[in-house]
Amino acid sequence: MPQLLERLAGIIKNLESSSKSVLLLEQKVDFALKVADVVAIMDRGMIVAELDPRPPRSREDLIRRYIGIPKPS
């Protein structure tokens, strides 16, 4: 539901502008990267990496292993 995701993105950005934090657990990786300031990757309950979502391809090894985004061709 694209309209719902856009509305949710707006809500998250509004919370951010009022100094609120949001923990987002999301299956839609592209959406999560769009609204996140920091991406934490967890494996078996432990944070194994923190990434800046703006250049999401900066750690291809972690992205392929944990997030499952295929390498662009």
Q: Residue 29, by phi and psi: left (phi above 0), alpha (psi -120 to 50) or beta?
A: alpha
Q: What is the pLDDT of residues 7-47, one digit of tens each?
A: 999 999 888 888 888 888 887 877 888 888 888 888 888 99
Can you give the pLDDT at residue 71?
59
Distance separating alpha carbons of residues 9 and 42, to the nearest angstrom: 23
Spatial contact of 69 and 29, defined as CB atoms under 8 Å apart = yes
Question: What gap in Å lies between CA 33 and CA 36, rounded to an integer?
Answer: 5
Residues 6+ apart with CB under 8 A from 57: 63, 72
Write down the pTM of the prediction.
Answer: 0.63
For residue 45 the two structure tokens come to 């309950």
For the cut 70, the answer to whether the pLDDT of residue 68 exceeds it is no
